[in-house]
Chains A and B, each alone.
Chain A
Amino acid sequence: MLIRAEYEKRDELKYISHLELMNTFRRTFRRAKLPVKYSQGYNPHIIFSMSQPLPVGMVGYSEYFDLELKEKLSFNLMKNEINKFLPEGLNVFEIVEISDKDKSLQAIANTARYEYEMSFKNDKSNSAKMISDFLNEDEIEITRYRRKKDDRMIDLAPMIYDGQVVEDNIWEFTISTGSSGNVRPQEVIRALKLKTDGEVKEIPLVNIKRIGLYVRRDGKLFKPIHREVLKKEVSED
């Protein structure tokens, strides 16, 4: 049986790396005695994959993993067992069954929503105007810094889908993520800084939270565990 789980990674656990997170889950599955499946070869490991890595320093309130099991288990029981053995700061919300025809998380989750704790040079009174001006820009050019490669210019405009002011200094942006166009959450801030002549200041990574990962289809957003985006037929054995 293949399952997909939605979970959160919060508080100080924002400081553990993707690899460390994977090991933490693997050991949790073992502690919970889940009937996991192993890969072949000299270095067998639990067959298990995760959604787009979070950068070190960022919490994620709606993250996902896929896991293969040797036998069927009740979702509730599984959820309780996993949560019982997870360290504080990790928590599974929901588990659904998926089929082996479903694409991997990293292949289908193409949109992410971030919450920013903004910082401004002056007063924060015109948040609403700043954000709507920004979203109406036809072109949002910024420099992308690339490791071991030359910097290059990219246009963020087509990859920023939405944005809103939640509170004066709490903003949200929904942006493209993954292989078909990736916006780094801090690039939005850099672009804002440029467009607002420095009114929006850069912020540390810890002031940004990933609050959702979605499959974007025809302009609509679905969670990767939503029936709409999963293959209908799930085998019963």
Chain B
Amino acid sequence: MNVREKISDRLIEVTNPERYIGNEYNIIKKEWQEDSIKVLTAFPDTYEIGMSHLGLKIIYHLLNKEDNIICERTFSPWPDFENLLREENLPIFSLESGRSVDEFDILAFTLQYEMSYTNILTILDLAGLEFYSSNRKESDPLVIGGGSIVSNVEPVAKFFDLIFIGEAENYIVDIINKHHELDNKGLEKREILKKLSRIPGVYVPSLYNVEYHESGHIKNIEPVNDEVKANVTRQLVTDLDKAFYPEKFLVPYMEIIHDRATVEVSRGCTKGCRFCSAGITYRPVRERSKETLLKQIDNILKNTGYEEISLTSLSTIDHTEVKELVEELTEKYEDDKISVSLSSLRVDKFSVELAKEVQKVRKTGLTFAPEAGTARLRNVINKGVSEENLYEAVEAAFNEGWSTVKLYFMIGLPTEEQADLKGIVDLVNNVLNKGKEIRKNTNKRMKPIRINVSISTFIPKASTPFQWEPMVNKDKLQEKIRFLRSNLNKKGINLSWNEEDLSLLESIFSRGDRRLADVLISAWKKGSRFDGWGDFLDFERWLEAFRENNIDPDFYLRRRDLDETLPWDHINMGLNPKFLEKEYKKALNDSPTSDCRFSDCKGCNICFNLDVDLDIIGDDYNVNKS
């Protein structure tokens, strides 16, 4: 049944109705055959965010490549559209065929950001499904999840039948086929899940029991019986160059966040920033070759008509062939006025030179992320950037005619002192002064210098060396922000920072456990939606939700003991069990760890445990160069 047809005429009443019409160029509408397996991907955020998500793109095209699988999409409805659906008593539907969730075999969520957890509940509810997997019926679709925050999914674990840990490309089709096969045999869901849990990377939360001490601390997390694996090991793609990559991108009407021909130049990052969760969950670095990338880009451009290429990864500038790639691209597509953008810059001159290459076609701002204000604190967080690097980079940028640069810093980092905040102020002032100086002495026309300073709050994340650290409290956080505001309050500097409540909430859930599921449901029932969108966050409502469930939010913000059982201890990132602790201790001694791709192996053991190589395409070339 096509649900959308019933509501089509009323879409005029909601904001951005084009979010719900589908029909994009390259949309895949397969014939609804009885024996096909029907998968509905659900992205718990808006259309424009979901459509920019690389993982969703990959899964959609990967599954639809299979003749026996139909994969369609749905996204979180904006509150006005949610209300409309409720008013009309209609369920959420897929963009492709307009069908409701009960017509699908599998509902597959992208887990990408803690603050979209309540949106998962909206989709489940509008699908007519119970929140807890244990309450759902045998005939309900299987609810699965996967994505970038799987290092700790415990707060939402009870909502899912199955969660895939790691990069799913090599396993997802098998899981879906196997499920279908077992389902056709008439097995009960619990039996099916038990069998599926034998597939590497498959985490079935209901097969693990969590016991708590009276103090609230976790006593142990154990599989329900010894047939179930003791822990779930992250899976990954070993040969990225040969891995599937979609080339027939859907071309949305609505301007999405990344509305361009995006290629993933590499996956993983071994720079080892100690606050970064992606640095662990996507380890090690695997690159795609220039040849593969050029081919992919060409096909995507042909298939979409996009006017911009984006080279994306956790650290694009570190790709061994990035310079050659950028040069070839700018030359090849100059006549077609196709521009190139780099998703992230390194803080150095090389980055600026590369950015300049890219700017031949179009002009955008430059962003650098020193992250901390002093060399000491940068050693603690292992951000290998020196003051000289930064000045060189910004000077190069100003000399090339950029008048605006954006600087990223974090506050509330472990061991942070007043001197470190002062360090941020000094760095920003020095950058501003260098810009002014260059502007004064140049004969080129240059707009007044602007430094956009973006301050984010450090949040201790699961499976990082800082997973034991406490979250900075609200008063201190406000004090720090006040200091920066009053000291960076001058012409040419534009300061922005995170909403404190939002950071606290994210922090609670990023190291949360299964007990938080009830809190999520309470907050959702009170109306929490799109909490990450600032304007919707109502912290009071959340505090009430905690109180209702007798849960103290501070319990989740506190420092963890090194020998404490952590909620995600049964999820194995492939790390040497002592690696994070070693890194943590080094951090407290202000001692850095260099990038293993340019130096020795640092013993995280991921390459051995997950049987993967640090796959650097232009390795020899790189060694010669340095």
**Chain A residues at the B interface, C-beta cutoff of 8 Å:** 11-13, 15-17, 20-21, 23-24, 26-31, 38, 42-45, 56-57, 85-89, 204-206
Q: How many A-B contacts are there with CB distance less than 8 Å?
A: 75
Given A30-B305, A85-B305, residue A13 in contact with residue B9 (CB < 8 A): no
CB closest chain-B residue, reference A55: B12
Which residues in A have their C-beta under 8 angstroms from that of B304? 27, 31
**Complex Cα distance A86/B307, Å?**
16
Q: Counting CB contacts under 8 A, is B306 at the interface? A: yes
Which residues in A have their C-beta under 8 angstroms from that of B24? 87
Interface contact B25-A205, CB-CB below 8 Å:
no
Which residues in A have their C-beta under 8 angstroms from that of B254? 16, 20
**Complex Cα distance A13/B21, Å?**
8
Query: What 9 new A-B contacts, CB under 8 Å, besides A16-B21, A23-B255?
Result: A11-B23, A12-B22, A13-B21, A16-B254, A28-B25, A42-B363, A87-B27, A205-B12, A206-B12
Q: Counting CB contacts under 8 A, is B303 at the interface? A: yes
Which residues in A have their C-beta under 8 angstroms from that of B8? 12
**Complex Cα distance A117/B24, Å?**
28
Which residues in A have their C-beta under 8 angstroms from that of B21? 12-13, 15-16
Residue among B23, B251, B305 making CB contact with A12, cutoff 8 Å: B23
Which residues in B have their C-beta under 8 angstroms from that of A87? 23-25, 27, 251
Number of interface residues of B (CB under 8 A): 27
Interface contact A27-B23, CB-CB below 8 Å:
no
Interface contact B337-A20, CB-CB below 8 Å:
no
What is the distance, in angstroms, from A211's C-beta to the closest C-beta of chain B?
18
What is the distance, in angstroms, from A115's C-beta to the closest C-beta of chain B?
15
CB closest chain-A residue, reference B12: A57
Contact residues of B between 296 and 317, Cβ < 8 Å to A: 301-307
What is the distance, in angstroms, from B352's C-beta to the closest C-beta of chain A?
18
Given A42-B362, A87-B24, residue A20 in contact with residue B9 (CB < 8 A): no
**Complex Cα distance A20/B259, Å?**
12
Which residues in B have their C-beta under 8 angstroms from that of A20? 18, 253-255
**Complex Cα distance A204/B538, Å?**
34
CB closest chain-B residue, reference A39: B337
9 chain-A/chain-B pairs, Cβ below 8 angstroms: A17-B18, A24-B253, A27-B307, A42-B363, A57-B12, A85-B305, A87-B23, A87-B27, A204-B9
Residue among A13, A28, A29, A206 making CB contact with B23, cutoff 8 Å: A13
**Complex Cα distance A12/B21, Å?**
6
**Complex Cα distance A28/B251, Å?**
10
Interface contact B25-A56, CB-CB below 8 Å:
no
Which residues in B have their C-beta under 8 angstroms from that of A21? 253
Q: Counting CB contacts under 8 A, is B365 at the interface? A: no
Residue among A42, A44, A56 making CB contact with B12, cutoff 8 Å: A56
Q: Counting CB contacts under 8 A, is B11 at the interface? A: yes
CB closest chain-A residue, reference B359: A42
Interface majority SS on B: helix, strand, loop or mixed?
A: loop
Interface contact A44-B337, CB-CB below 8 Å:
yes
9 A-B pairs closest in CB distance: A27-B305, A30-B305, A31-B305, A15-B17, A12-B21, A57-B12, A16-B253, A87-B25, A20-B253
Q: Counting CB contacts under 8 A, is B336 at the interface? A: yes
What is the distance, in angstroms, from A26's C-beta to the closest C-beta of chain B?
7
Which residues in A have their C-beta under 8 angstroms from that of B27? 87
**Complex Cα distance A13/B25, Å?**
12
**Complex Cα distance A205/B24, Å?**
23
Interface contact B307-A88, CB-CB below 8 Å:
no
Interface membership of chain B positions 251-295, coded 1 if the CB is closer than 8 angstroms to chain A and 0 otherwise: 101110000000000000000000000000000000000000000
Which residues in A have their C-beta under 8 angstroms from that of B23? 11-13, 87-89
Given A43-B362, A204-B12, residue A26 in contact with residue B17 (CB < 8 A): no
What is the distance, in angstroms, from B118's C-beta to the closest C-beta of chain A?
27
**Complex Cα distance A157/B71, Å?**
54
**Complex Cα distance A30/B617, Å?**
32
Interface contact B9-A206, CB-CB below 8 Å:
yes
What is the distance, in angstroms, from A85's C-beta to the closest C-beta of chain B?
7
Interface contact A30-B18, CB-CB below 8 Å:
no
**Complex Cα distance A85/B303, Å?**
9
What is the distance, in angstroms, from A84's C-beta to the closest C-beta of chain B?
11
Interface contact A27-B255, CB-CB below 8 Å:
no
Which residues in A have their C-beta under 8 angstroms from that of B255? 20, 23
CB closest chain-B residue, reference A20: B253
What is the distance, in angstroms, from B452's C-beta to the closest C-beta of chain A?
20
What is the distance, in angstroms, from A231's C-beta to the closest C-beta of chain B?
30
What is the distance, in angstroms, from B310's C-beta to the closest C-beta of chain A?
16
Interface contact B305-A29, CB-CB below 8 Å:
yes
What is the distance, in angstroms, from A22's C-beta to the closest C-beta of chain B?
11
What is the distance, in angstroms, from B333's C-beta to the closest C-beta of chain A?
11
**Complex Cα distance A11/B336, Å?**
32
CB closest chain-B residue, reference A32: B305
Which residues in B have their C-beta under 8 angstroms from that of A204? 9, 12
**Complex Cα distance A212/B331, Å?**
44
CB closest chain-B residue, reference A16: B253
Which residues in A have their C-beta under 8 angstroms from that of B306? 27, 30
CB closest chain-B residue, reference A15: B17
Interface contact B25-A27, CB-CB below 8 Å:
yes
Interface membership of chain B positions 1-21, coded 1 if the CB is closer than 8 angstroms to chain A and 0 otherwise: 000000011011000011001
**Complex Cα distance A13/B11, Å?**
12
**Complex Cα distance A45/B303, Å?**
19
Interface contact A38-B305, CB-CB below 8 Å:
no
Which residues in B have their C-beta under 8 angstroms from that of A89? 23
CB closest chain-B residue, reference A30: B305
**Complex Cα distance A45/B8, Å?**
33
**Complex Cα distance A204/B11, Å?**
11
Contact residues of B between 215 and 247, Cβ < 8 Å to A: none
Residue among A26, A42, A57, A206 making CB contact with B305, cutoff 8 Å: A26
